[in-house]
Amino acid sequence: MVQYTPMIQQYLRIKAEYEDAFLFFRLGDFYEMFFEDAIKASQVLEITLTSRDGGTKERIPMCGVPYHSASGYIERLIDNGYKVAICEQTEDPKQAKGVVKREVVQLITPGTVMEGKGLQEKENNYLMSISMINDLCFAISYSDLSTGESKAAILDGSKELLLNELTTIGAKEIIIDPDFNKEVLKYLKERCNIIVSLEANTQLEVQFKRLIATINEDELRHAALRLLHYLNRTQKRSLDHLQPFSTYELNQYMKIDFYSKRNLELTESIRGKGKKGTLLWLLDETATAMGGRTLKHWIDRPLINNEQINKRLDLVELLLNHYFERQELRELLKGVYDLERLSGRVAFGNANARDFIQLKKSLLQIQPIIHLVERIPHEQTEKIAANLDPCEDLTHLLEKAIMDNPPLSVKEGGIIKDGYHPDLDMYRDASRNGKNWIAELEQDERKRTGIKSLKVGYNRVFGYYIEVTKANVHLLEDGRYDRKQTLANAERYITPELKEKEALILEAEEKSVELEYQLFMDIREMVKEYIPRIQRTAKVISELDVIQSFATVSETYHYVRPTFNSERKMVLKEGRHPVVEKVMGSQQYVPNDCFLNAEKEMVIITGPNMSGKSTYMRQIALTAIMAQMGCFVPAEKADISIFDQVFTRIGAADDLISGQSTFMVEMLEAKNAITNATSDSLILFDEIGRGTSTYDGMALAQAIIEYIHDRIGAKTLFSTHYHELTSLESNLTKLKNIHVSAIEQQGKLVFLHKVKDGPADKSYGIHVAELAELPKDLITRASAILSNLENSTTKEKAVVMEEPQLNEQLALFADAENNSKKNKSSSKEQKVLEDIRALDLLEMNPLQALNQLYEIQKRLK
């Protein structure tokens, strides 16, 4: 250290405490970065890398950004997953003896962003703390610093359950103990892009008692306290807006695992990773940012309590039947700003006067909303009206104190209204009268001297002055004017009267600005007292907003109210896929029925590719999810049983990060469903077993169907191209065959998209390939091969058998092979067998395999 200058030594001491963050080190009007920070920041931010003398022979790498525009650069670093420590000067440089004192005033991380583009208005920005109770049990707590929302739960199951909850919450950063299990941490980091921070302190301090009073379990309290200590240590300011932790249990909601949320595209599309094309995109007719965030919560966590679901449905039906009130409500909600994040900014100390205007305008909408809700008579609307708080005394304070169009800055005046404070009015009067006197002085001096171009001006360096062009200087009276400044073409003067008035005006202006800032700070402290009331109102407004959004969507797309039964039935008449229907627009969507009950718990769906099997399966799941969210559903009639979980295995993709093949991913997702599903679950399996050889895949598919049928009893939709599986209907009493129909017209395939009873008679694979516009020669060749295979008398027809028969069949193949060894009657056949053994099937594509089979058949004939 001694080899560096004192300032660089100071930088290094502070940097040592924030090794995992960029240190924005304040030097005058710039935030500077040095050493590795400078090199990396210059690349990420695309700014110039320079150097400076640091006391050593080699110059130190350096880059910097202006402090007044630093927020944009900080946002870019946070968006790229970095942390930024803000180091400010904490003493006046003029009074400093040696190096100016500096210290970090805030650590900004992806999980603690309070403003800027990094915050999506309709998405939460959660920071999560994780504590391990044992290998299969975790305590989690999480908070959105920007809104104050805080929750906690115990996850008893596995690290997969932890991953699922982490992705559901969408946490941007996790906080763990330094001794946290390395294997679990590696597992989480491999599967989601997450920032990890360390915090060891879990001591209970006085300021945290209010926040954890609702938590009883010690492990959960430790997780919450770790989160609070991290926030307190990094933010170094008031956290008064944080709400007490609310605890929940996962079994209070329908469980939808990470894979199913992805496959069903609930909140994020598979291809674009955006919102368009998702259930969230369809249902989001919310008018407020708070409502948008609540809608996402409801999609992530559908209810399983019949009474709670029907309470939501009652409200949706009320607003659906009161069209004019609903339209008026939407207009009123549009005038409500983000009350939760406004409260956070107030408590955090970075709210400005414009935030107060937004807060006032929002609160002024609450009373009209109360009157509107009271016009719809119902027990629930009465509760809503009673829980809405217009905070009239706060709106009165803001109306009296804050200018209607204040500046962004809180330190330059122009914020407080006249009449709010007598001393401020006195200073303003002195300043305004003084300026009037200045204007009159200019006119008097022009008359006195006869110089029409004479003017009285002001700048911050020289104060007030009288400016006269050099051509007119001789017209001034001797002894009256004192020269103050000489310009190229003019002289500037001061008079005793002007000097006296200048002191009064500048003093009044200075005191006025200082007093305004102090009054604003006092008002901000008064507003903080209302934060709990504002947050309670915000929660009611957000839920009301989602309800009107459901009603609006239900009316637009002609959805119906679902009913719920206890007989484990699912009856859907003319059901539709809500998102596909919206995307299709004016095109006609083909609706389909679904009937499942105690005698028909499983269906095998067959039909050609592109016929709509996957769409049909997804629409069943989406209908169940929408119903349990409390929304109307896309059908003519919907009577369903409440599902505790939804599992899907749809689509195929390698997990490249963890080195797992498509088939392994398929098996893991199937295992997740089979091991966790209950008789009250819904399972969707789309073409299980296609990732391996035909017989392996078919055997696994049959075994999975039998296992679910015999041991789990969950409602299951199983689509497949293994037509042999349709024979299982005769052996499994609760399994039925259905198919998505298609017909051939003039040699072309026409998809009807209609689900009918019974199995499909053909696969139409070559027709689909033709629709995909594969080369005509290839299609012709495939048709010839298919015809040959279908007409071959030697072709072995695969038949799915029960387990004992399957073993017998395998033994039969073994005997045939032994006999071929004993009886080498034909050298040609022996050569064919040797060629078959030499084939590397894993390196062949399906078309090559078919061609090889065709050649073998020709040789045998």
Beta-carbon neighbour count of residue 379 at 10 Å? Answer: 8
Taking 90 as the threshold, does the pLDDT of residue 267 lie above it? Answer: yes
> Which residues have a Cβ under 8 Å from the Cβ of 657 and sit 6 or more positions away?
190, 191
Does the annotation place 132 within a ligand binding site?
no
Per residue in 326-371, pLDDT (tens digit) is 999 999 999 999 999 999 999 988 899 999 999 999 999 999 999 9
pLDDT of 767 reads 65
Under 8 Å between Cβ of 302 and 335: no
The average pLDDT across 259-278 equals 88
Taking 70 as the threshold, does the pLDDT of residue 313 lie above it? Answer: yes
How far is the CA of 672 from the CAs of 116, 258, 307, 621, in angstroms? 39, 11, 30, 17
Q: For strand 60-66 and strand 30-34, is the pairing parallel, antiparallel, or unpaired?
A: antiparallel
> Which residues have a Cβ under 8 Å from the Cβ of 578 and sit 6 or more positions away?
279, 282, 557, 559, 619, 622, 623, 626, 633, 634
pLDDT of 623 reads 97
Fold (CATH) for 422-524:
MutS, DNA mismatch repair protein; Chain A, domain 3 (1.10.1420)
Taking 80 as the threshold, does the pLDDT of residue 593 lie above it? Answer: yes
122 or 746, which is more confident: 122
Where does the pLDDT of residue 761 fall: very low under 50, low under 70, confident under 90, or very high at 90 and above? low
Question: In whole angstroms, what is the distance from residue 675 CA to residue 15 CA?
Answer: 49
> Which candidate, 506, 519, 507, places its Cα nearest to that of 410?
519
Hey, what are 575's tokens? 């059901």
Does the annotation place 610 within a ligand binding site?
yes
Lowest mean pLDDT among 51-60, 433-442, 528-537: 433-442
- In the chain, the amino acid numbered 178 is P
Where does the pLDDT of residue 812 fall: very low under 50, low under 70, confident under 90, or very high at 90 and above? very low
Question: In whole angstroms, what is the distance from residue 449 CA to residue 451 CA?
Answer: 5
- In the chain, the amino acid numbered 825 is S
Most confident segment among 302-316, 440-454, 846-860 = 302-316
> Which candidate, 791, 797, 718, places its Cα nearest to that of 759?
718
Per residue in 3-23, pLDDT (tens digit) is 889 999 999 999 999 999 999
Does the annotation place 658 within a ligand binding site?
no
pLDDT of 749 reads 64
Taking 50 as the threshold, does the pLDDT of residue 252 lie above it? Answer: yes
Burial of 59 (0-12, 13-18, 19+ CB in 10 A): exposed
77 Cα distance to chain centroid = 19
> Which candidate, 172, 256, 184, 244, places its Cα nearest to that of 214?
244
pLDDT of 54 reads 86
DSSP 602: E
Question: Would you kindly state where each structural domain of the chain is located, as residue ranges?
Answer: 6-108, 126-252, 306-391+530-557, 422-524, 563-763, 791-860
Taking 70 as the threshold, does the pLDDT of residue 809 lie above it? Answer: no
The average pLDDT across 591-602 equals 94
Fold (CATH) for 306-391+530-557:
MutS, DNA mismatch repair protein; Chain A, domain 3 (1.10.1420)
Question: In whole angstroms, what is the distance from residue 256 CA to residue 276 CA?
Answer: 20
Does the annotation place 609 within a ligand binding site?
yes
Q: For strand 715-719 and strand 682-686, is the pairing parallel, antiparallel, or unpaired?
A: parallel
Does the annotation place 825 within a ligand binding site?
no
Where does the pLDDT of residue 840 fall: very low under 50, low under 70, confident under 90, or very high at 90 and above? confident
Does the annotation place 426 within a ligand binding site?
no
pLDDT of 655 reads 44
- Angle 667-694-853 from CA coordinates, rounded to 5°: 150
Where does the pLDDT of residue 657 fall: very low under 50, low under 70, confident under 90, or very high at 90 and above? very low
pLDDT of 37 reads 96
Where does the pLDDT of residue 788 fall: very low under 50, low under 70, confident under 90, or very high at 90 and above? confident
Lowest mean pLDDT among 17-26, 275-284, 495-504, 590-599: 495-504
Under 8 Å between Cβ of 619 and 544: no
The average pLDDT across 589-605 equals 93
Where does the pLDDT of residue 181 fall: very low under 50, low under 70, confident under 90, or very high at 90 and above? very high
Lowest mean pLDDT among 361-370, 528-537, 642-651: 642-651
Does the annotation place 614 within a ligand binding site?
yes
The average pLDDT across 75-79 equals 93
Burial of 124 (0-12, 13-18, 19+ CB in 10 A): buried
Under 8 Å between Cβ of 55 and 63: no
Taking 50 as the threshold, does the pLDDT of residue 300 lie above it? Answer: yes
- In the chain, the amino acid numbered 156 is D
Q: What class, spelled out in words, does domain 126-252 have in CATH?
A: alpha beta
> Which candidate, 676, 707, 689, 682, places its Cα nearest to that of 594?
682
pLDDT of 469 reads 93
pLDDT of 723 reads 81
Q: Do domains 126-252 and 422-524 have the same CATH topology?
A: no
Question: In whole angstroms, what is the distance from residue 260 CA to residue 676 CA?
Answer: 13
pLDDT of 795 reads 41
pLDDT of 842 reads 65
pLDDT of 135 reads 81
- Angle 174-177-179 from CA coordinates, rounded to 5°: 130
Question: In whole angstroms, what is the distance from residue 334 CA to residue 313 CA?
Answer: 23
Taking 70 as the threshold, does the pLDDT of residue 661 lie above it? Answer: no
681 or 750, which is more confident: 681
Does the annotation place 730 within a ligand binding site?
no
pLDDT of 826 reads 58
Burial of 474 (0-12, 13-18, 19+ CB in 10 A): exposed
pLDDT of 763 reads 62
> Which residues have a Cβ under 8 Å from the Cβ of 782 and sit 6 or more positions away?
766, 769, 847, 850
Under 8 Å between Cβ of 466 and 481: yes
Taking 60 as the threshold, does the pLDDT of residue 813 lie above it? Answer: no
Where does the pLDDT of residue 1 fall: very low under 50, low under 70, confident under 90, or very high at 90 and above? low
| 563-763 CATH | 3.40.50.300
Under 8 Å between Cβ of 684 and 651: no
Hey, what are 404's tokens? 């209607």
Fold (CATH) for 6-108:
MutS, DNA mismatch repair protein, domain I (3.40.1170)
The average pLDDT across 134-139 equals 89
Per residue in 437-481, pLDDT (tens digit) is 888 888 988 998 899 999 998 887 788 899 999 999 888 887 788
Percentage of the chain modeled with pLDDT above 70: 90
